[in-house]
Amino acid sequence: MLQLQVLRQDTEGVKARLSRKHFADLHLVDAIIALDDERKKLQLSFDTNQSVVNSTSKEIGALMAKGQKEEAEAKKAEVAALKATLQPITEQLAVVEKQLHDELVKLPNLPHDSVPVGKTPEENDVVREAGVKPALHAGAVPHWDLIKKYDIIDFELGSKITGSGFPLYKGQGAKLQRALIQYFLDYNTAAGYTEYLPPFMVNEASAYGTGQLPDKEGQMYHMPADGFYMIPTSEVPVTNIFRDEILKETALPVKMTAYSPCFRREAGSFGKDVRGLNRVHQFEKVEIVQLTHPDKSYEAHNEMVLHIEKLLQSLELPYRILALCGGDMSFTSALTYDFEVFSAAQERWLEVSSVSNFEAYQTNRMKIRFKDEKGKTQLTHSLNGSSLALPRIVASLLENNQTPEGIAIPKVLQPYFGAAVLK
């Protein structure tokens, strides 16, 4: 959630940056400032009347002490009349504050100055591309055929158990999943990230804190009887660990990593681009999250990008890094880099990670703060990245490494998988 002082300090600049995200309702900025003006007037009226009540009440005590009962009774009448004005002001103030909050959460985060101008994914900037695209042998097939050939993932059984988009991993497929998860976690903890295993359901306050609510209700599985949501990523519960906390400046940065299954409705998804593992309703992912000092969040962002880049290099997958344009960014992000790996059998790039800096947008919602050396309380910045999402990594590993003898397992993964080839 944007801070009111940001809107007030540079109103036209805020509108210009929101336009870069192709946010259409720019009038909201003026409406929010007008509501804040009304809130300030009501607060001033309340404070003024309360101050008179307080000072007059003291006078009553002094008059009673002097035996001036008649004058004291007159002051009591004044206090009663003033107190009667406070209740409607309080009620109106509550109404305006709720309106102000409800309008403020409709504004997306402001994009960083470096965000490319553009509206569609085709306008994202390719930062760099690396790795060698494999030349596949004759008869190579996409991963949806490979998983049947090696009997490692069963979509039909998953559909029988739950529904479409819920794959069932078995045998070497389940083992490959476990190997990747363990490798990713070990890689992250070796870099100083503390491992967590969070709940896979969150309450409304947690979903609101990271910006899933009120923006992404339709993408989450909701259990109305309990008020819980299945998590779309472990970013949600992990970042909320520090909700309503004040950290010591010396504790920053806080570096966290977590494995979790992820649940996304992906309503309306269809076509060849979502075939097989390209898009599913339940998948596994390892996430990294940082809470940082505001002055160091972009340094941390670059560090996270390099961290994930080296992870992809270790898997020997061809990849590219994209700087997302304003129109393709998430509601909450200030700057996002996407990682895509090349799927040789499909001859297309598949997104496997997003690394985002949210600045103070999430932490303002969650009230995650720290005290600096001068004792001043400030909001931290929050960042997160996929390290990594498994389905498309698995799809690319299967397709790019297929040989007539089986699927070659990258060297770094072989100790975890227990074999050099999946047969």
The enclosing domain of 303 has a CATH number of 3.30.930.10
The pLDDT-based confidence of 332 (bands split at 50, 70, 90) is very high
Q: How far apart are CA 349 and CA 361, in angstroms?
A: 30
The DSSP annotation for 352-376 comes to EEEEEEEETHHHHHHT-EEE-TTS-
Last residue of a domain, one of 79, 104, 129: 104
For residue 267, what pLDDT is reported? 59
Taking CB atoms within 8 Å and a gap of at least 24, the contacts of 224-229 are 227/203, 228/201, 228/202, 228/203, 229/201, 229/202, 229/203, 229/204
Q: Which residues contact 113 (CB under 8 A, 6 or more apart)?
A: none
Helix (H) or strand (E) holding 35: helix 27-65
User: Same domain for 96 and 129?
Assistant: no
| Burial label, 109 (beta-carbon count in 10 A; 0-12, 13-18, 19+) | buried
The enclosing domain of 96 has a CATH number of 1.10.287.40
Residue 112 lies in a domain: no
> What DSSP character marks residue 144?
H
Helix (H) or strand (E) holding 229: strand 228-230
User: Same domain for 98 and 148?
Assistant: no
In the numeric block, which tokens belong to residue 57?
């009440």
User: Same domain for 208 and 345?
Assistant: yes
Sign of CA dihedral 325, 326, 329, 332: positive
For residue 272, what pLDDT is reported? 54
Name which of 94, 303, 104, 37 is nearest 192 in CA terms: 303
Residue 164 lies in a domain: yes
User: Same domain for 96 and 144?
Assistant: no
Last residue of a domain, one of 37, 69, 104: 104
Q: pLDDT tens digits, residue range 45-70?
A: 999 999 999 998 889 888 888 888 88
User: Same domain for 141 and 87?
Assistant: no
User: Same domain for 225 and 286?
Assistant: yes
List the domain range (segments joined by +) for residue 317. Answer: 121-422
Q: Which residues contact 195 (CB under 8 A, 6 or more apart)?
A: 185, 188, 189, 256, 257, 258
Residue 71 confidence (pLDDT) above 90: no
Residue 374 lies in a domain: yes
User: Same domain for 299 and 371?
Assistant: yes
Q: How far apart are CA 401 and CA 397, in angstroms?
A: 6
Name which of 389, 416, 387, 412 is nearest 256 in CA terms: 387
Q: pLDDT tens digits, residue range 258-314?
A: 999 999 997 545 555 678 999 999 999 999 999 999 999 999 999 999 999 999 999
User: Same domain for 136 and 223?
Assistant: yes
Cα 56 from chain centroid (whole Å): 51
Residue 358 lies in a domain: yes
User: Same domain for 86 and 138?
Assistant: no
Last residue of a domain, one of 75, 104, 133: 104
Residue 177 lies in a domain: yes
Across the range 393-402, mean pLDDT stands at 98
In the numeric block, which tokens belong to residue 323?
């700087």
Q: Distances in Å between the alpha carbon of 372 and those of 18, 226, 365?
A: 30, 39, 20
Residue 116 lies in a domain: no
Number of domains in the chain: 2
User: Same domain for 180 and 259?
Assistant: yes
Average model confidence (pLDDT) across the chain: 95
Q: How far apart are CA 295 and CA 181, in angstroms?
A: 32
Residue 407 bridge partners (DSSP): 402, 422
Residue 321 bridge partners (DSSP): 128, 339
Q: How far apart are CA 11 and CA 31, in angstroms?
A: 12
Q: Distances in Å between the alpha carbon of 418 and those of 160, 175, 184?
A: 31, 9, 16
Which residue's entry shows tokens 């940001």?
6
User: Same domain for 41 and 81?
Assistant: yes
User: Same domain for 99 and 154?
Assistant: no
Residue 384 lies in a domain: yes
Q: pLDDT tens digits, residue range 95-140?
A: 999 999 999 999 999 999 999 999 999 999 999 999 999 999 999 9
As a whole number of Å, the end-to-end CA separation of the chain is 50
Residue 111 lies in a domain: no
Name which of 361, 366, 349 is nearest 208 in CA terms: 366
